[in-house]
Amino acid sequence: MTTLHETIVPTQRVRRITVLISGSGTNLQALLDAASTPRLPNAAITYVLSSRSNAYGLTRAKTQNPPIPTSVCALKTFLNRNPGSTREHYDGEVARQVLQSRPDIVVLAGWMHILSDRFLEVLNGEKEAPPKPALPPPEPKSLPNQTEPIPSNDSSSPTAETEQKTLPSPPSTQHFPIPIINLHPALPGAFDGANAIGRAFEAFQEGEVKNTGVMVHRVVAEVDRGEPLLVKDVEIKEGDTLEDLEARIHQVEHEIIVDGARIVLEELEKETSS
């Protein structure tokens, strides 16, 4: 029996993270390995959306314990299957699928499309999500001839003797705005947009920069111009190949994406407890 001097601490709700990917999903794997550990406590990856049907990150999600729901929203396929639709319609459909996953936060982990105001308006709670298209999206499929090991967490290995786990239930109501963060392999204000690593490498060879970096930032309408949450410098060494630099940046990415997600989750906890 509880006495007057005892304090009852309510159990925190496990926060739900939706991750958007386009490829191999190594940054997704970093989030999967960190979820529900001291690095990313009281959190779970509960949905993965890919812009490509053969993205290997989908396989990473489906082989977790429990398997993580996935979907595909490919731009070209969407436009072909929905005659008369535009890029804005596509972004609205991406937002609809994300919103349907009932996330606490959204992490862009290698998502290769620039998201427009339409996406942000839905996730900010400013506009309703569009209705579901008449034609269903293509079924996800794993990337052929993939050689990367999955998953890296022993507890989700197919041969591990573990009980079947369940994903955390969604909240009773969806709170807006839904925080959205993005991982970008460059320093703030430098090499915005695509091929940031290659452009930084070329700039180093031309003597224009001495180093590059990685950041996690909030997503706003301006590409890669949202408030930086974390920034890490990455050295470019004399004699580096582009592959050397890419490997060094990816190592930092796998750390910083987890730390950025944790910062946002901690902010949410403070907001709900105040």
- Are the C-beta atoms of residues 42 and 34 closer than 8 Å to each other? no
Residue 107, CA distances (Å) to 31, 129, 148, 182, 207 in order: 10, 19, 22, 6, 34
175 included as an active-site residue: no
Report CA 245 to chain centroid distance, whole Å. 22
Secondary element (H or E) of residue 214? strand 211-218
d(Cα 162, Cα 148) in Å, to the nearest integer?
A: 23
d(Cα 242, Cα 197) in Å, to the nearest integer?
A: 8
Two structure tokens written together for 94: 């991406």
Two structure tokens written together for 62: 């489906």
Which residue in the list 184, 217, 250, 254 is annotated as catalytic? 184
> What pairs with residue 44 in β-bridges?
16
Count of C-beta atoms within a 10 Å radius of residue 18: 25
Label residue 190 exposed, middle or buried (CB < 10 Å: 0-12, 13-18, 19+).
Answer: middle
Indicate the DSSP class of residue 159: T
Exposure string of 42-65, with b = 16+ CB inside 10 Å and e = fewer, is: bbbbbbbbbbbbbbbbbbbbebbb
Crossing angle of the two packed helices 26-34 and 242-273, in degrees rounded to 10 = 40
Q: Which residues are catalytic?
A: 184
